[in-house]
Every structure is written in structure tokens, then in C-alpha cells.
């Protein structure tokens, strides 16, 4: 059968009741479908997981009514293991899901229903510890949604489009926006109906900012249901948590309030120093999986020579990757990051008394969206001699640039924190986690930004950070990298490798509880206590 005819047939069958389900039963005979949507690892480990959770639950006290939501096969697998873990601790857990394998590619209703029946078959193996609810099967009312819910759908769809296309300007008529709006709207209808009818004590959602994950989190908060969001960074055996907040916003107010008054020890200083030494030389360190620099540091003098920098003050502008989750909705006074860069470059075009070095994030080599280099070239196809543009592929180490910088400009990148740790005064233009901690300059309007910039360029040396500010930056870096991430046994990326090393019985042993017990309590809604961290 020709591909076009086959797709047309699937589209027709997808609208007929039970066709996909009967096809799956007769043709697949209960086997996984030929699709990226695979729960094979969960399926193979489920008997062991259920047996261990059942045994652990026998001595657990009755807990809360918890609803976990996930979409995309890898998040569903991870959420199922998390759900069984919470069930082992006595909680009544339901896993709601949508059986998508891709957030940006369309899928016929027929194939989606096949994936749905497959997922339900696999997840049924977790009963009775883990109830599963497919948001594809739910009955919803198609009456008009409240305006607040429509705004939720529009906001998340805009974020999804920015994230997918790696753009800041969103065309609501684009195919990506329309697809994301349609899926987010259906998720909102289902979440609203389900959570109203089956109100849980707590909702847990991965990420909580984008895709249907972001919709369900926001619907829970709209209904005033406590909600936890979680994500994973670079470190193995660590998880980011947020209670009644979007974890990707990395809100560290409570953390820093609790930890800033605790003395910063020499041992902690040495640990941060070792981490950043590894970042400077482009090496992996401890349980961090990311390689931050492709080129090891050569020293500031070599960077000056390579870039042809003279004795005029040097301003380092470090960009983020466009569309990264850590930039979505982070504007403070600019429309977006591109506008901030564009207007900043225009400002410096009239300041030949200083040298501007624009470091485009090396991570851009891995993405397909608009480069910040293109934003700069739109303003000046031929840059003035005192402005240098370093592309993402250029073999220049960012830490060499920090060494020669007299002033730093950032949106939300961690490079701003690292510059402050080196004593370099930094102006932060976006809403990032280290903004307002006392060691950066944080304008909230264009007027304040340009005024601050002008004052600092007049006498850069007068704005070098004090010893106390530098020490505070180092202390904050320790808290952010080593105390903000909570101990957790299974990273999303190495889920099953981690589980093989740390099954439920090990995680909930006395030794395991000493390491992970607080994290599971926080996931179950117990208020985060930042006064208590590893080893305290």
C-alpha cells in the first residue's frame, strides 16, 4: 500500500471506536509496537519493582493521595518508578499520562491509540500499587474554558514554540505553534476535568514549564492544589526540586536565605575551586556529565594576543543558547535576549574607547535555531574594530576571556556567576537564579541599565568586586552546585543503569534512607528544609 493511502486509512481508522485497540490485540499480540514509544525497560523491570514495593509497603504508614503526570515514553518510565517508590512509602499514587513519543511531530490518531493501549497494558503490571489514567481516554466537557486556563495554554504553547524552533519571536500561525496549542488545549481540558473530579493531596510533574507537563502543573496551581516539579541537571544521583514553583526557574531565595549565614569553609572553597578548574581546562569532574569547554585555557595574555586586544577596557558579553529552558520568560526590562544584545551592540558602536567581546555560547553547535551571532550581524554586518564576535565553533576558552575582562554583561548564563567569582563586575539583564544576591548589578529598566553601564565604563576599576562580594559569590556557587541539587538515586538519562545499581530495596534500606530519605519526603510534599543538607 502506498504511504499516502496508508496514512489516509490510519486517519480514517483512528476516528472509529476500538479499531486501534483491536488491531493491537490481533496483530501485536501484546508485543511492543514498532515505534519510538517504547516502555520495554519498565516492562522488563516491573515485576521486580512491584515485588519490592509491595514488601516495603507492608511496614509503611498510610500516606497522601498523590497524582503524577508524565508524557513522552522516557518521562513515563521515570514517573512510574517514582510512583512505585512513593507507593512503597504508603502513599496512594495515580500516574496520569499521554502516550506521545515526540512533542513536535504529528501522529495519526490510530497510531496514538495503539501507543495508548500498549502503555496501559504495560502500566497495568504496576497494579494495585500504581493506578494509571490515560488522558487520551478521558471524558471532558467541551464548554468554554475559563480565561485563566486559555492563558495557560497560550503561554505554554509559546514556550513550546520557542523551545522547539529555538526562536524568541513566535508566529502563532506556524505549524509548530498550532500543533502545540492543540495538544496543550486537550491536556488542559483533561487536567481540569480530572483534577476537579479526583482532587489529590499533591500533584507531581517533571519540568513543569513546557509541553503538557507545563499545562498540568499550571492547572494544578490554578485549582490551588500543591504541586512539585522536578528536573535533572548535569550531576548523577542528584535532582532539582521546586515546591509550588517551576523548577527550571531555579528559584534559590529560600536556599540562599538559609545557607548564606552558614560559614563558608575552606573545604567547601576547595571543592568549588576543583570544579571550576575542571571547567576551565575542559574536563569532566566528579559526577558532572557535561564538558563545558572544548578548548582548554591558554591564559589571558594568549587570548589578548589571539583577539588583537589592546589596553582599552574589555567588556565581555556572554550569550545563552536561544530557546533554552533557562531563558524562557526570563526578560526583565528587554523584550527578549535578542533585543538586549542588539541594543547593547548599538550602544557600544559609539564607544570606541572600550573593547566589546561577544562570546556566543559554545552550546550553539548542538542546536538548529537562530544564532546570537546572526543577531549581532543584523545590527552590524561589518563590526567596528573595537567589537569582536567569537562564534560557537571558535577555539577560544571562555575563562581566558574572563581573565582579561574589566566588565561582564550577561542575560542568564552561569558565566556571570563565574565572572563575579573572579572579581569582575557583572551586569545581569535577565531573571537568573544568582540575580540580586549582592555580587552582581541588576538593573530593572533600560534607563537604569544604560546609566549603570555608562558609570562602570567611566571607571571600571572602581567597580571591581570587594573581597566580601567575591567570597559571597564563591559561597553561593557552592550552595547552587552542591546543595541545591538533592540526592536522588535515578537520573533520567541513565535511569536503568542507575536502577540496576540502586534498586528499591537498597534505596529504602537504612543506609539508603540516610542518603535519599529527605528527598523522597520533599517529593511527597514535606516542606523543603534548606538548613539541612548532606552531612548535616
Average pLDDT (175-192) is 96
SS3 category, 229: strand
Torsion angle (degrees, nearest 10) of CA 516, 521, 527, 531? -30
Average pLDDT (220-248) is 96
- Report pLDDT for 280: 72
Residues 475 and 367 in one domain: yes
Task: Quote the domain boundaries for residue 180.
Answer: 145-221
Residues 308 and 171 in one domain: no
Average pLDDT (452-465) is 94
Backbone angles phi, psi at 196, to 5 degrees: -70, -40
Name the pLDDT band for 467 (thresholds 50, 70, 90).
very high
What is the count of structural domains for the chain? 2
Residue range 72-94, pLDDT digits in tens: 999 999 999 999 999 999 999 99
Residues 214 and 354 in one domain: no
Residues 331 and 444 in one domain: yes
Q: Please state, in angstroms and rounded to a whole number, the distance separating the CA atoms of residues 161 and 229.
A: 21
- Report pLDDT for 368: 65
Indicate whether 244 belongs to any domain.
Answer: no
Which of the listed residues 438, 453, 483 is the one where a domain comes to its end?
A: 483
CB contact set of 277 (below 8 Å; sequence gap of 6+): none
Name the pLDDT band for 23 (thresholds 50, 70, 90).
low
- Report pLDDT for 239: 97
Q: Where does 335-467 show beta strands of DSSP type E?
A: 355-359, 387-390, 407-410, 426-428
Cell reading at 455? 558609570
**Segment among 11-25, 197-211, 247-261, 320-334 with least mean pLDDT:** 11-25
| Residue 285 clears pLDDT 90, i.e. is over it | no
Residues 180 and 286 in one domain: no
Comparison of pLDDT for 350 and 141, the residue scoring more: 350
Q: Please state, in angstroms and rounded to a whole number, the distance separating the CA atoms of residues 527 and 244.
A: 10
| Residue 288 clears pLDDT 50, i.e. is over it | no
Name the pLDDT band for 291 (thresholds 50, 70, 90).
very low
Which of the listed residues 483, 514, 530 is the one where a domain comes to its end?
A: 483
Indicate whether 360 belongs to any domain.
Answer: yes
Under 8 Å between Cβ of 195 and 223 = yes
Indicate whether 380 belongs to any domain.
Answer: yes
- Report pLDDT for 21: 58
Indicate whether 323 belongs to any domain.
Answer: yes
- Report pLDDT for 76: 98
CATH number for the domain including 306?
3.40.50.2000
CB contact set of 393 (below 8 Å; sequence gap of 6+): 362, 365
Cell reading at 486? 538533592
Under 8 Å between Cβ of 111 and 79 = no
- Report pLDDT for 526: 97
Residues 213 and 280 in one domain: no
Residue range 330-389, pLDDT digits in tens: 999 999 999 999 999 999 999 999 999 999 987 776 666 678 888 888 889 899 999 999
Indicate whether 292 belongs to any domain.
Answer: yes
- Report pLDDT for 35: 72
Indicate whether 23 belongs to any domain.
Answer: no
Cα–Cα distances in Å, from 453 out to 32, 76, 310, 386?
Answer: 59, 47, 21, 17
Q: Please state, in angstroms and rounded to a whole number, the distance separating the CA atoms of residues 517 and 522.
A: 9
Measured on CA atoms in the order 390, 393, 398, 401, is the torsion positive or negative?
A: negative
Average pLDDT (96-116) is 92
Comparing CA positions, the residue from 468, 332, 356 lying closest to residue 409 is 356
Angle in degrees, CA 413, 78, 139, rounded to 5 = 105
Comparing CA positions, the residue from 311, 307, 322 lying closest to residue 357 is 307
Indicate whether 368 belongs to any domain.
Answer: yes
Cell reading at 69? 503526570
Comparing CA positions, the residue from 337, 390, 332 lying closest to residue 361 is 390
How large a percentage of the chain has pLDDT more than 90? 74
Residues 277 and 178 in one domain: no
Residues 160 and 279 in one domain: no
Average pLDDT (460-485) is 95
Under 8 Å between Cβ of 200 and 225 = yes
| Residue 534 clears pLDDT 90, i.e. is over it | no
Indicate whether 8 belongs to any domain.
Answer: no
Name the pLDDT band for 278 (thresholds 50, 70, 90).
confident
Residues 263 and 356 in one domain: yes
Residues 170 and 278 in one domain: no
Paired with 393 in beta bridges are: none
Comparing CA positions, the residue from 132, 120, 130, 139 lying closest to residue 25 is 120
Residue range 38-78, pLDDT digits in tens: 999 999 999 999 999 999 999 999 999 999 999 999 999 99
Cell reading at 294? 572544548
Average pLDDT (129-147) is 88
Residues 262 and 217 in one domain: no
| Residue 110 clears pLDDT 50, i.e. is over it | yes
Residues 162 and 209 in one domain: yes
Q: Please state, in angstroms and rounded to a whole number, the distance separating the CA atoms of residues 95 and 301.
A: 57
Q: Please state, in angstroms and rounded to a whole number, the distance separating the CA atoms of residues 82 and 228.
A: 13
Amino acid at each position: 500500500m502506498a504511504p499516502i493511502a496508508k496514512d489516509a486509512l490510519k486517519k480514517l481508522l483512528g476516528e472509529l471506536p476500538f479499531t486501534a485497540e483491536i488491531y493491537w490485540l490481533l496483530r501485536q499480540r501484546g508485543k511492543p509496537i514498532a515505534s519510538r514509544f517504547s516502555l520495554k525497560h519498565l516492562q522488563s523491570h516491573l515485576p521486580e519493582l512491584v515485588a519490592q514495593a509491595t514488601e516495603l509497603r507492608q511496614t509503611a504508614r498510610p500516606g497522601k493521595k498523590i497524582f503524577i503526570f508524565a508524557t513522552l515514553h522516557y518521562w513515563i518510565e521515570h514517573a512510574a518508578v517514582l510512583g512505585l517508590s512513593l507507593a512503597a512509602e504508603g502513599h496512594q499514587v495515580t500516574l496520569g499520562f499521554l502516550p506521545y513519543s515526540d512533542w513536535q511531530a504529528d501522529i495519526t490518531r490510530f497510531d496514538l491509540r495503539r501507543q495508548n493501549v500498549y502503555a496501559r497494558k504495560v502500566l497495568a503490571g504496576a497494579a494495585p500499587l500504581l493506578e494509571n489514567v490515560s488522558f487520551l481516554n478521558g471524558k471532558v466537557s467541551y464548554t468554554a474554558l475559563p480565561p485563566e486556563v486559555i492563558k495557560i495554554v497560550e503561554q505554554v504553547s509559546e514556550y513550546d514554540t520557542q523551545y522547539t524552533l529555538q526562536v524568541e519571536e513566535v508566529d502563532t500561525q506556524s505549524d509548530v505553534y498550532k500543533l502545540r496549542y492543540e495538544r496543550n488545549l486537550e491536556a488542559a481540558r483533561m487536567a481540569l476535568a480530572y483534577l476537579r473530579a479526583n482532587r489529590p493531596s499533591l500533584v507531581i510533574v517533571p519540568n513543569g514549564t513546557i509541553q503538557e507537563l507545563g499545562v498540568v502543573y499550571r492547572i494544578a496551581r490554578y485549582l490551588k492544589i500543591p504541586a512539585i516539579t522536578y528536573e535533572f541537571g548535569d550531576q548523577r544521583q542528584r535532582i532539582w526540586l521546586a515546591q509550588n514553583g517551576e523548577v527550571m526557574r531555579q528559584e534559590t531565595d529560600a536556599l540562599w536565605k538559609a545557607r548564606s549565614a552558614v560559614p563558608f569553609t575552606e573545604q567547601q572553597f576547595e571543592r568549588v575551586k576543583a570544579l571550576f578548574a575542571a571547567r576551565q581546562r575542559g574536563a569532566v569532574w566528579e559526577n558532572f556529565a557535561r564538558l563545558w569547554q572544548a578548548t582548554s585555557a591558554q591564559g589571558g595574555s594568549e587570548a589578548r594576543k589571539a583577539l588583537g586586544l589592546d589596553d582599552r577596557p574589555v567588556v565581555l558579553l556572554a550569550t545563552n543558547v536561544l530557546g533554552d529552558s533557562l531563558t524562557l520568560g526570563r526578560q526583565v526590562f528587554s523584550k527578549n535576549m535578542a533585543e538586549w544584545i542588539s541594543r547593547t551592540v548599538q550602544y557600544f558602536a559609539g564607544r570606541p574607547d572600550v573593547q566589546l567581546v561577544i562570546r556566543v555560547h559554545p552550546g550553539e553547535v548542538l542546536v538548529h535555531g537562530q544564532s546570537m551571532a546572526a543577531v549581532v550581524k543584523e545590527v552590524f554586518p561589518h563590526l567596528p574594530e573595537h567589537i569582536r564576535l567569537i562564534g560557537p565553533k571558535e577555539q577560544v576558552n571562555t575563562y581566558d576571556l574572563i581573565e582579561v575582562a574589566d566588565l561582564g554583561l550577561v542575560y542568564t548564563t552561569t558565566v556571570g556567576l563565574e565572572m563575579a567569582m573572579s572579581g569582575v563586575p557583572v551586569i545581569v539583564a535577565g531573571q537568573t537564579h544568582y540575580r540580586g544576591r549582592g555580587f552582581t548589578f541588576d538593573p530593572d529598566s533600560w534607563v537604569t541599565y544604560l546609566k549603570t553601564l555608562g558609570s562602570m565604563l567611566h571607571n571600571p576599576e572602581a567597580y571591581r568586586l570587594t573581597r566580601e562580594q567575591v567570597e559571597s559569590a564563591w559561597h553561593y556557587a557552592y550552595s547552587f552546585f552542591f546543595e541545591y541539587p538533592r540526592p536522588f538515586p535515578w537520573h533520567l538519562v541513565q535511569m536503568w543503569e542507575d536502577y540496576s545499581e540502586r534498586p528499591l530495596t537498597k534505596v529504602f534500606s537504612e543506609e539508603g534512607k540516610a542518603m535519599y530519605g529527605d528527598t523522597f519526603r520533599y517529593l511527597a510534599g514535606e516542606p523543603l528544609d534548606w538548613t539541612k543538607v548532606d552531612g548535616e
